[in-house]
């Protein structure tokens, strides 16, 4: 029987402490942006190690994983564009983070959040058909918040703008007359929603900061799906999505 020494016991204790503190550090990894007055708890961390079979694709294109473990969205030239829904529900006060790399051919980049069927039901259980075409997501059959960034016009020229809208009816809540995302670079995206307040950050810079006061028969949306949308102009359009994280925000 091997001899148990004080040194071996101490080494075992140190190793156990290392494992415990390492796991705790990973679980408490803070977001890139700290929201004043809130503590962030990591609830979802998608690193695409288990594939994307539980994600839901709509439209003319494909979603694949690269050799580097990135999610590649490819929208086909001449198609309606595509939307990829994440397998999570957003609710309450939250902070969403992801990284995105945009190709120079990508026409429109959008993200939907707190998206539901107009009845309030899970939109992925709805019998209504959606094709990736923008009108399917902004008309009276769906409600959501929508942020666009790095958009091109029909001639392929950069429009140098970002918009935060509320659907249905494409209501403008906030606009920025500058393009927060440059093609060919990886950008850190943060979307924070605290009750009726919405903030949008790119690489740590605040782009939008609004309070949804309701109205127009559209209350503040407090839960729903998360979806990424891209639309091509005159060639195939693609983006790379890296690590998607969702934090629950609790008052500090």
Q: What is the pLDDT of residues 49-88, one digit of tens each?
A: 999 999 999 999 999 999 999 999 999 999 999 999 999 9
Top pLDDT among 104 and 11 is at 104
Where helices occur in the chain by DSSP H, the ranges are 6-27, 135-138
Name the residue among 88, 78, 89, 95 with its Cα closest to residue 34: 95
Q: Are 111 and 229 in contact (CB under 8 A)?
A: yes
Q: What pLDDT is recorded for position 27?
A: 52
Question: What confidence tier does 24 reach under pLDDT thresholds 50, 70, 90?
Answer: very low
Question: What confidence tier does 11 reach under pLDDT thresholds 50, 70, 90?
Answer: low
Q: What pLDDT is recorded for position 12?
A: 54
Top pLDDT among 147 and 153 is at 147
Q: What is the mean pLDDT of the chain?
A: 88
Q: What pLDDT is recorded for position 23?
A: 41
What is the arithmetic mean of pLDDT over 32-59? 96
Top pLDDT among 12 and 161 is at 161
Q: What pLDDT is recorded for position 109?
A: 92
Distance CA 183, CA 12 (A): 50
Kindly report, residue by residue over 86-124, the tens digit of the pLDDT. Answer: 999 999 999 999 999 987 767 889 999 999 999 999 999
Which tokens belong to 136? Answer: 């399917």
Residue 85 DSSP SS3: strand
Q: What pLDDT is recorded for position 22?
A: 44
% the chain with pLDDT above 70: 88
% the chain with pLDDT above 90: 73
Q: Are 179 and 160 in contact (CB under 8 A)?
A: yes
CA of residue 24 relative to chain centroid, distance = 25
Q: What pLDDT is recorded for position 142?
A: 95
Which domains does the chain carry? Answer: 31-251 (2.60.120.200)
What is the arithmetic mean of pLDDT over 123-145? 93
Which tokens belong to 227? Answer: 């979806």
- Beta strands 38-46 and 237-251 are antiparallel
pLDDT at 21 over 80: no
Q: What pLDDT is recorded for position 144?
A: 97
pLDDT at 239 over 80: yes
């Amino acid at each position: 029987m091997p001899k148990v020494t004080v040194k071996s016991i101490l080494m075992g204790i140190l190793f156990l402490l290392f494992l415990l503190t390492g796991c705790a550090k990973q679980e408490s990894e803070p977001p890139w942006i700290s929201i004043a007055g809130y503590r962030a708890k990591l609830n979802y961390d998608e690193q695409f190690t288990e594939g994307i079979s539980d994600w839901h694709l709509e439209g003319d294109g494909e979603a694949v994983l690269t050799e580097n473990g990135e999610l590649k969205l490819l929208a086909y030239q001449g198609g309606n564009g595509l939307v990829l829904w994440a397998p999570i529900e957003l609710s309450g006060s939250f902070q969403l983070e992801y990284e995105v790399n945009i190709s120079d051919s990508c026409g429109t980049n959008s993200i939907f959040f707190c998206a539901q069927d107009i009845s309030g039901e899970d939109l992925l259980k709805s019998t209504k058909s959606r094709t990736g075409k923008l009108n399917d997501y902004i008309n009276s059959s769906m409600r959501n918040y929508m942020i666009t960034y790095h958009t091109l016009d029909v001639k392929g020229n950069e429009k140098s703008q970002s918009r935060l809208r509320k659907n249905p009816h494409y209501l403008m809540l906030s606009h920025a007359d500058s393009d927060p995302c440059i093609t060919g670079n990886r950008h850190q995206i943060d979307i924070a929603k605290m009750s009726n307040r919405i903030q949008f950050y790119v690489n740590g810079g605040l782009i939008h900061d609004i309070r949804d006061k309701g109205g127009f028969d559209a209350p503040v949306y407090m839960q729903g799906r998360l979806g990424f949308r891209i639309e091509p102009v005159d060639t195939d359009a693609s983006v790379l999505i890296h690590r998607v994280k969702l934090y629950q925000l609790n008052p500090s």
